[in-house]
Structure 1
């Protein structure tokens, strides 16, 4: 057994005294602080207070987890619903943020940057969220410019901007979208907007009405002229000059009907897609010159000129008759809406990327109002600015151009301002071997 000295015993005694002093001071402080703590906690102990606080934090965490799960469930159910709904559905949360939207909703000009930008729909969402129920209405929107890009159009716009008035900046034409809108609340947080795009039905109705108004009227004319000629021949004593005039009117109307039937047949042919082959490679400038030759007699009648220029190296795949007819229609259109003695320019160049042939037909005629430009490529549509040379038209020329462009995987674009003339641009993809 080790020897314990007096010094060791004294040291241990001091340590025990020190521990006792610390415990005493701690008890004294506790006696002083506890009344204050109990007063602040309304008599609850610190342990109870900490336990309660911990329980609240745990409950909040559990509630947040439950909310997240509910939100996820809602998103899953909403996604399932959206996948079954026709049209272009949009879901908006309580902060007016779009949480789900069909791509068509952006193209239709309703949603942009996760926000509903159409004021009437935005107001309907707020009203339905506050009052419940649903609301239905019809609305017309415009397609945003970023969805209207066409190959070759940017070059055309810039060149026209350089030559046009500074206040007449060329822009792509946006077609209207006719929508049937239904807005309803699906929960406390979410409102759904259903967009039914009925644009094609409306456009079909417009084409039908234009056909009835224009074509049927023109088809009646030959019958009336023939009846007039027959009456002249039946009556005795009429001068030969009168009979000759009636005969000329019959010949003119029959020629008009023949022209219309040819346009209808050409429009039907232009519905078939053109497949590139080794046998349908065409020189674009040659086709433009041939089209100008066809239109030359019309120009000579009014002392007008047709100037064709451009690159002789551009080759596309296509049907010669269709492409030539499309350029011819653009030239005829330019001549008919230009004054006597005017010049129409036909320019053939590649686009800046070197992948498309761009045929521009430029006139300095009356121009086309911006409000009519969205419809001029529709079948049987005729604008308000008709003259004595265009009064008998039925509105098929530009429709033929559009369909020829589409069947050749190309596009057609217009820049026009009243009093400044028009530039029609036919864009066709180059032969891939040449484009590369």
Structure 2
């Protein structure tokens, strides 16, 4: 047999190598486009494995709402990060029977299902906030109001779209509460005015009685003015915050202004205000909402402190480095355990009211709570009767 020329042999070897390289590249390209389906890594040779349809990938990348893609075994193949914080997805599985039932029905019959759903933000996110702390705090409940749409893509994939309408629901609730509570609170001043009118209409009026009725009118009107002012703050605290370069706020600059404004009130009560913190902290804020929240926390601390007490205000970066933590610490009477779960409710007032807090209407902490929620932050309380209280307002740092 004639020997193959060396040049031809080299060409043959090079061609073979190129074929192998091209084959490897093609295999890698296909493997990287595969997704995890049916609970197994794609590309393991199972004939049931399928690639995610191109139209589904394109759709998911364009959707403005939170999206979740579920396979035929109800496993979450792909989802938006917000699905975890809204309590819809946990450990690559759908949470909640109502969504699962809709997935099963849609997969079997086609079409789509739409319904409203209320969830709670998982406790683990609050736990992450307090990670590394030995002090257990009482945090606010964070319900999420969602509009859910479930639709079938093909025989294998079902898509779940979630629209978070919590901000608009909270705003509507506060608006309705405003109307209801103002109507109820108007009864006090009108009754007091009616009594004063009766006294003045008497032939020989009792001056002492008239004076007492007038004091009642003044007190009722003062309380009503306080309530209307706080309700307006509460409504403003519902307004959504869109982070931008135009609404960046230096935390310590704001705290200095707030503390300076409240110092005369503290001095009148015989309480000292102390401020410390990190001057590098910057957050996003609109319409002075953070000032309103911190003002209410400090006013509460002053109101429940004993004469000669100290209220400390501080700001620092959280351990994860992504949030600002504003703390207001007092040495006051503290809050009973049974009251701690309810103190952030509108118009709730616990036991232990003092002369300085008697005219309050129970909206201060509700304002602070809604400011925290609107800013995608959190607020928590630690307290022990007789040892004082610590309120912690946590806000995302501006990016």
TM-score of the superposed pair, with normalisation by structure 2: 0.63
User: Structure 1 CA distance, aligned partners of 2:171 and 2:258?
Assistant: 33
Name the counterpart of 1:249: 216
Give structure 2 stretches of 5+ with no counterpart: 1-44
- SS of the counterpart of 2:379? strand
CA–CA separation in structure 2 for the residues paired with 1:143 and 1:323: 22
Task: Report how far residue 175 of structure 1 moved.
Answer: 0.6
Give the CA RMSD over aligned residues. Answer: 5.0
Report the Cα offset of residue 87 of structure 1.
Answer: 3.5
Distance 1:405 1:291, change over 3 A: farther
Secondary structure at the counterpart of residue 125 of structure 1: helix
Q: 1:229 to 1:174 in 2, by over 3 A?
A: closer
Structure 2 residue aligned with 1:423, among 373, 381, 390?
A: 390
The separation in 2 between residues aligned to 1:382 and 1:179, in whole angstroms, is 26
Give me the whole-angstrom Cα distance separating, in 1, the residues matched to 2:207 and 2:232: 37
Superposed counterparts of 1:52-131, under 5 Å = 71-72=50-51, 75-82=53-60, 87-126=65-104, 128-129=106-107
Give 2:13's aligned residue: none
User: Which residue is 1:199 aligned to?
Assistant: 166
Structure 2 counterpart of 1:382:
347
Is residue 274 of structure 2 the alignment partner of residue 306 of structure 1?
no
CA pair 410-117 structure 1, distance change in 2 beyond 3 A: closer
User: Which residue does 1:348 correspond to in 2?
Assistant: 314
- Deviation readout 1:49-100 (Å, 9 max, x if unpaired): xxxxxxxxxxxxxxx99988xx55x622223444566643322111222123
Q: In the alignment, is the contact (CA less than 8 A) between 2:281 and 2:317 conserved in 1?
A: no
- Three-state SS of the structure 1 residue aligned to 2:219 is helix
Q: How many angstroms apart in 2 are the aligned matches of 1:428 and 1:181?
A: 28
Do the aligned partners of 2:188 and 2:220 also contact (CA within 8 Å) in 1?
A: yes
- Higher Cα Rg, which structure: 1
Please name the residue that 1:361 is paired with. Answer: 329
For the pair 1:291 / 2:262, whether they are aligned, the reply is yes
Deviation at 1:182, TM superposition (A): 3.9
The count of aligned residue pairs is: 339
Over 3 Å counting, the alpha-carbon distance change for 1:327 and 1:181 in structure 2 is: closer
Conserved 8 A contact 2:151-2:160:
yes
Post-superposition shift, 1:382?
A: 2.4
Q: Give the SS at the match of 2:53.
A: helix
Distance 1:245 1:170 in 2: 45
- Are 2:113 and 2:150, in contact at CA under 8 Å, matched by a contact in 1? yes
- C-alpha distance in 1, partners of 2:84/2:105? 22
Shift of 1:243: 0.3
Deviation (angstroms), 1:233: 0.9
Contact 2:114–2:147 (Cα < 8 Å) also in 1: yes
SS at match of 2:347: coil
Structure 1 partner of 2:206 = 239
Question: SS state of the match for residue 72, structure 2?
Answer: coil
Partners in 2 of 1:199 and 1:357 — Cα distance? Answer: 24
> Of 297, 300, 316, which residue of structure 2 is paired with 1:333?
300
Once the 2 structures are TM-superposed, how far is the Cα of residue 178 of structure 1 from its aligned partner? 1.9
Q: Do the aligned partners of 1:350 and 1:356 also contact (CA within 8 Å) in 2?
A: yes
Determine the C-alpha separation between the residues in 1 that align with 2:223 and 2:46. Answer: 76
- Residue pair 2:110, 2:151 contacting (<8 A) in 1 also: yes
CA 1:284–1:202: 2 relative to 1, 3 Å: closer
Q: CA deviation at 1:248?
A: 0.2
Over 3 Å counting, the alpha-carbon distance change for 1:97 and 1:315 in structure 2 is closer
- CA 291–428 in structure 1, closer or farther in 2 if over 3 Å, else same: farther
Q: Distance in 2 between matches of 1:154 and 1:98?
A: 29
Are the equivalent residues in 2 in contact too, given 1:310–1:347 (CA < 8 A)?
A: yes
Q: Is the 8 A contact 2:147 2:164 kept in 1?
A: yes
391 and 100 in structure 1: CA distance in 2 versus 1, 3 angstrom threshold: farther
